Each structure stands twice: as structure tokens, then as C-alpha cells.
Structure 1
């Protein structure tokens, strides 16, 4: 594979990403997660900030011209109310979380990220703000965005973040290269597998891809597909039960992506709490963990797909 130009070395003109080769799950070596567990489960809580009067953002309803007060206020509710309800839920169920943080959140919502840090949760870099995409920037601009967000999280948390999720799952053709060069050990943007996979980067380097969900993700499920709160919760339970059975033959990663302004809402939080309680009830049979812990453990394993 040729990571320098984004082309797969296939001998024909088909364009490829050049990051990893094909690997069928049933043909891979079998290994265990810590404690001889086979299913690793992590919660990805997205803490995001937006711009008033402009920029990107999920829409609860068509809001009309800017300033779109309807949708801005809906998202802002997530940081003022919903995130704190999510924290209470995680506390009650004794579940860790990977908290995906826009760097401007420290200024916009003082005390919010700190509350999850106090829980011992992992703080993952999530760009500057979810009002923008990084994949549309040129390389110098994207490098600057990564550097700015990394510097703020490092200053606030006292250590550099290990993982990155691009706002809106946005990547350019060089994003994995830039992340590796900035010192990141893993990325979360790709939903192409149920196990960690090594990505090739330019200059002979590599960065680990940890599975991040697009099915068990409340924005695609609830905002885009219009799933009900019960349907989303039922999907989590069904996926967990099925993956727990499948993991007997292969170690798997199950991520659940949550946004406080969506599932922090009371009518969605109650069924979500039921689904998470089902997972917590089986904690002895799984590895409840964080994306960073998965990446750190997997990076030491031999024969991961690449």
C-alpha cells in the first residue's frame, strides 16, 4: 500500500486510500482483551460547541435564516443540561466514557469538561468546534487546526490527547498523516471494522484506527433516520447481545456514540438508561473501557490487521 499518494498498489487506475489492506475478520488471529474478555465496550460522549449565527450544526427542525435560534438553543441545551444528566447516568451505572471534546468548549462552557475529567474519563480531541469541517481545508490550514486544538487540550488536561475524532467525521486525504505527525496514537473517524486496524501513514509511519459507530450513533439514528428513543435503545441492546455472542470466536469493539443535546433529552434518556443498564448488568462478561485504553492495549498486540 502507498500511503504517500492515497493510491492502493493494485496495478490499475482505481483510486484507493492506501491506508490498509483487505482482511476478513474470520481469518485473523484470535486474542483476548484484558481479563480474558472478548468484547470491549466504550461510550463516546460528544461534547461540542457551535457558533451563533453561522457555521454547521445538526438541525432538530428547519430553522430558517441565520441566526437560527431554534437549533442553536437546542444544541446549547446539551451543554447546559443534557451533559450533566449524562454524567449522572454514567455515575449511577459506574460506566467510564471517552469524552470527545471541542477545544473551544473550555472557554464556552467552563467547568463542563472538568466535571468529566474528575470522573477519570478519557478526554479525546474533537477539533476546535463542530461548526466547521477540517476535511475542506488545505494541508497547512488543517495542520494548524490540529495544532490549535491539541495545544489547548494539552494545556487544560496536563497531557496530550492520544486520540482524535474529526468534527463531522471529516478527513482530508492527509488527515491520518497529520495526526500521526502531531503525536496522535489513534483516530476514531473510520467505521470500517469491529477491531482496531493499523493505518499506514507517509514516511513509513502508522496510526491505529479504533472502531467508531455510525449505526449506534444518535445523530444518524435519531436525527437522520428518525428512530424513536425506544428504537435507538433497543438497537443498543440487540447489538450488545449479538456482539457478545459473536465475540466468543473473535475479539470485538462495540462503541456507542452519544450527544447530550439529543439523548440527554428526558424522553430519550430514560430508554437509553435502560439500554446502558443492560450493558452494566453484564459488566463481568465484558471489558467496559475507553477508546484510549483499547488503542493502548491493541498497539501492543502482534498481527493486528493493517
Structure 2
């Protein structure tokens, strides 16, 4: 029987790899992935609070819109209180439809990473030329807005075609976040070189947990704390990356953000000299500059 393989990276067990450390000799790199997403009114994709009715589906559209109008600003205030950086994963249409929102993250000094044009579409279903154009459009918008091109990319809905890593590397991207296969960065082959896969969470991600598995904010916060405690201990032996994926229309609600704050304060209190609070882009930079391939 022939089993198809991607041939992007070889198999290896995390316990049998080279040893290295993060800056300052730290063992655990932690970053917050803050998704800034916009949706099409009356059509297109989008997470659902409740089963949708006929279009226009005002209930679910307005719920997601709450995330940009209220939830994301509330999360920004939390990050400011705790003095935490984040990686903002930005739909390029955000600048037109939610003016000023992505700019706040840039003003904080946060990393701005590419996240497609809108989460009303998936790039993985497109022909190669169309996907290349989507990547180019999103990249050009972020570059024009901030004067520097994004280093990293997360596809809307974690959607990839067979050529997405190739197209991203050819467009100048240094890392991608779509593959949730490891707790350490992984080099991936492309047809013209390589691109780094930085771990992005699908377990510590509020959409799969709250929308998919119907857990609530207190449970999600407990998961974050439990994962942190285990990974902090493991990171004494090997470097690890812990990402937390957030969306304003989920963790930005009052009854959930209090639990997120509880989890983040727990992490800060127990960090000691072992935790590097950082961004996905800084993780990429460290691997490229300081870790032998």
C-alpha cells in the first residue's frame, strides 16, 4: 500500500534532537497569537455562535463583529496591564473594515504577521496563480501600512494547498504557522529553498475549544495553566514553544477574559528565569541566527 507523504520535513522525536536554548538561557518561549479577522456580510465563511439561518446571518456576523469592536480592545488593555507582547495575525481587509485596530498593535511594538485577506475565504482551494495573488495582495497591504513586510504567515482557517509553503517562501516569508505538528520550530523544504514552521496551537486555541468542543473560558484557562506547568518542567531539558491563539469574539467577552487573565498571571508568577515572553517572529529570528540547521 502506498501512503502519500508531504516530504516537507523528516520524522524525528523531540527527545532525540540537538539541544539549544532561547535568549538568556531560557527554556520555554511563550507567545500570544492575536487573530484580527474580518468577514463578508451575507456570504462566506465564519465561526458560528449558533446554527446560522438564511443570509444575511445577522446573529453570527454581529457576534464576530463584536470581537473587533469590543473584544480586541479589551484584550489590548489586558496585554497592556500585564506588559505582554503579542503577534497580531492580520487579515489585510482589517485596515479597510476596522480602521485603527491593527494600528494599535503596531503602536505597541507588536509583531504584525500575515493572515490572508479575510477569514471569509480559504486559500487552499485556489489555483496556484490565484493563491499567489492572494498572498501578494495581503502582503502588499501590510507592507504599505507598516513600512516593512511581514515575516510570518497564518492561512485563514489553517488552509493550505500543496504549494502554499513554496509560494510563501517565494513571496519572501521566513516562517509559517499553519502546521501544528511539534513543540519546536521545524525547517520545511520548499521547491526553491526552505521555510521555518513555528509551532501554532490547535489545542490552546479558543476556536477549537470554545466553538468546537463547547468548553468555556474557565476550562480554557485551566488548560493553559496545565500546559504551561508541564512545559515549564520539560523545558529544563529541551527548548519548547508554547503559543496561545486568541480571537476577540471569543476570549474578549467579559465572562472569559477574567479567566484568561488568571491564566496569564499564573504563568507570569511562575516564570522565574525560565520563560521568554516573545513573538513568533522573534522565535524565527533566534532559530535563524543562533541555532545550527
Alpha-carbon distance between aligned partners in 2 of 1:186 and 1:88, rounded to the nearest angstrom: 28
Aligned to 1:260: 248
TM superposition score normalised by structure 1: 0.94
1:19 paired residue among 8, 30, 35: 8
User: Does 2:68 correspond to 1:42?
Assistant: no
For residues 1-306 of structure 1, the aligned pairs below 5 Å read 13-203=2-192, 205-283=193-271, 284-304=273-293
Gaps of 5+ in 1: 1-11
Query: Is the Cα contact below 8 Å between 1:95 and 1:280 reproduced in 2?
Result: no
Of the structure 1 ranges 218-227 and 273-282, higher mean CA displacement relative to structure 2 is found in 273-282
Aligned to 1:3: none
Aligned to 1:6: none
Query: Is the Cα contact below 8 Å between 2:89 and 2:113 reproduced in 1?
Result: yes
Alpha-carbon distance between aligned partners in 2 of 1:78 and 1:182, rounded to the nearest angstrom: 30
Structure 1 residue 302 displacement after superposition: 4.0
Alpha-carbon distance between aligned partners in 1 of 2:2 and 2:220, rounded to the nearest angstrom: 41
What secondary structure is seen at the aligned counterpart in 1 of 2:162? coil
Structure 1 residue 303 displacement after superposition: 4.3
Structure 1 residue 282 displacement after superposition: 3.3
Alpha-carbon distance between aligned partners in 2 of 1:282 and 1:37, rounded to the nearest angstrom: 13
Taking only aligned residues, the RMSD between alpha carbons, in angstroms, comes to 1.0
Alpha-carbon distance between aligned partners in 2 of 1:64 and 1:110, rounded to the nearest angstrom: 29
Alpha-carbon distance between aligned partners in 1 of 2:153 and 2:52, rounded to the nearest angstrom: 30
Query: Is the Cα contact below 8 Å between 2:66 and 2:249 reproduced in 1?
Result: yes
Structure 1 residue 190 displacement after superposition: 0.4
Alpha-carbon distance between aligned partners in 1 of 2:270 and 2:106, rounded to the nearest angstrom: 25
Query: Is the Cα contact below 8 Å between 1:46 and 1:258 reproduced in 2?
Result: yes
Query: Is the Cα contact below 8 Å between 1:43 and 1:258 reproduced in 2?
Result: yes
CA deviation map 1:246-271 (0-9, x unaligned): 11111000000000000000101111
Alpha-carbon distance between aligned partners in 2 of 1:160 and 1:195, rounded to the nearest angstrom: 24
Alpha-carbon distance between aligned partners in 1 of 2:223 and 2:54, rounded to the nearest angstrom: 35
Query: Is the Cα contact below 8 Å between 1:29 and 1:303 reproduced in 2?
Result: no
Alpha-carbon distance between aligned partners in 1 of 2:268 and 2:119, rounded to the nearest angstrom: 30
